[in-house]
C-alpha cells in the first residue's frame, strides 16, 4: 500500500476548520492547501511564493486555535470534551511540526 500523499494527510485539517466555523473552503484558513504546503516544506519542497516554514506553521496554529475557541462555544459539548479542547490549545501552541498538529486533529475526529 502506498503511503498517504501530503494532500490526503492535510484533508482533515480543512475539515477541522470548516466544521468549526460551518464555512466554505478557504474561509478562516479552511483549505487543504495550507497544511499541504506545510507538509511539503517539511519534506524539503521550497516554493518561492510561499512564506518560510516557520511563518506557515504559526499561521496554521493561529487558525487552529481560533477553530478550537469556536468548538468551545458550542453549548452542547460536555465538560469532559471542553476540558480536552482546553488542553488541546496548549498542545497546538507548543507544536513545532505538522505532525503534532495533525495528531491533535486526528484525536478530535476520533472523539466525535
pLDDT tens digit sequence for 7-37:
898 999 999 999 999 999 999 999 999 999 9
In a domain, 1, yes or no: no
Percent over 90 (pLDDT), the chain: 80
In a domain, 107, yes or no: yes
Whole-angstrom CA distances from 85 to 34, 37, 42, 55, 74 are 22, 26, 26, 24, 12
In a domain, 10, yes or no: yes
Residue range 31-57, pLDDT digits in tens: 999 999 999 999 999 889 999 999 999
- Report the distance separating Cα 104 and Cα 13, nearest Å: 10
Contact, 58 vs 92, CB < 8 A? no
Q: Which of 43, 21, 18, 14 is nearest to 102 (CA)?
A: 14
Q: Could you tell me the end-to-end alpha-carbon distance of the chain, in angstroms, rounded to an integer?
A: 27
Question: Which grid coordinates are listed for 101?
Answer: 498538529
- The domain total for the chain is 1
Per the structure, the complete domain to which residue 79 belongs is given by 6-111
Amino acid at each position: 500500500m502506498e503511503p498517504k500523499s501530503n494532500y490526503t494527510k492535510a484533508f482533515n485539517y480543512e475539515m477541522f476548520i470548516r466544521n468549526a466555523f460551518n464555512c466554505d473552503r478557504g474561509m478562516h484558513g479552511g483549505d487543504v492547501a495550507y497544511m499541504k504546503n506545510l507538509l511539503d516544506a517539511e519534506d524539503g519542497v521550497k516554493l518561492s511564493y510561499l512564506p518560510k516554514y516557520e511563518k506557515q506553521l504559526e499561521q496554521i496554529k493561529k487558525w487552529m486555535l481560533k477553530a478550537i475557541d469556536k468548538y468551545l462555544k458550542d453549548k452542547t459539548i460536555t465538560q469532559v470534551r471542553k476540558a480536552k479542547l482546553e488542553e488541546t490549545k496548549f498542545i497546538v501552541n507548543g507544536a513545532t511540526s505538522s505532525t503534532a498538529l495533525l495528531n491533535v486533529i486526528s484525536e478530535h475526529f476520533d472523539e466525535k
